[in-house]
Amino acid sequence: MADDALAQAFRAQKLDWIVPAWDAPARVHAFMTTRNGGASEGTATSLDVGDAQPRSDAANALAITENCRRIARWLPASPVWLAQVHGRSVAIVDGGNRETMCATPAHADALVTRETGVALAIRVADCVPVLFAARDAPVIAAAHAGWRGLAAGVLEATLTAMRVPGESVVAWLGPSIGANAFEVGDDVVAAFCNADADAREHFKPHRHGKWLADLHALAQRRLLAAGVDSVRDDPSCTYGEPARFFSYRRDGATGRMAALIWQ
């Protein structure tokens, strides 16, 4: 299904899920869920896809399973998920390990594949979901980029694992906590600015010892430095739209959205 048809199908089902507006080649398809359209209840109402490190004993495990089933009906196959750890490790999915990785998610924060019909999935609830596609090679990727992963180099590690020049890659940044909501301390500023002094322009003084950080701008900065000159983003703030998005920083106990890509 072409992405414009996918967006129309979501609207017909009264789903407010997001289809990226980016420069990906026609073979590549992607979408991001919101918190709507699912079966979970309480603080995780209603389309919770589970914790960053999934647990079979989660209180709403049955609802999470149903939510993942609802997502999978739009995909060519059940997606490959991760056990996310806020680092820079990248897992490669191929025809030989897909089933194993579905059964036992890799401890990593990015996925790369050259296979067709393999959907890559990451979970987010304030961190930036970053989707990648090569223009002229059959390779795609998805990364979970919170501040720790960004500072550690998860985007650069993902590009390295794709094995194509940065200038041949297009990227999309999904909704995350916005620049006016993400309060951080001096340690976060140092994590970026010790290696790149000019990154300080993406931190706004807020109160004593605190700053407001622009995750999207920090991610774009790193992608541009790696040669990726086609970067599109959805500027929606997960913190500021409680009816549409989960937000860990806003709510603490909450659910997660999914960002997915396949070719």
* pTM check: above 0.85: yes
Tally of CB atoms within 10 A around 210:
15
- The token duo for 131 is 């989707």
Cα 72 to its chain centre, rounded Å, is 17
Q: How would residue 55 be classed by pLDDT, with cut points 50, 70 and 90?
A: confident
- Measured CA to CA in angstroms, residue 192 lies from 74, 111, 158, 199, 204 at distances of 38, 23, 18, 6, 14
Given this model, what pLDDT does residue 86 score?
97
CATH value at residue 74: 3.60.140.10
pLDDT at 3: 87
Domain, as residue range, for 220? 3-80+87-262
Please give the tally of structural domains in the chain.
1
**For residue 1, is pLDDT > 80?**
no
The per-residue pLDDT for 58 is 76
Position with higher pLDDT, 165 vs 56: 165
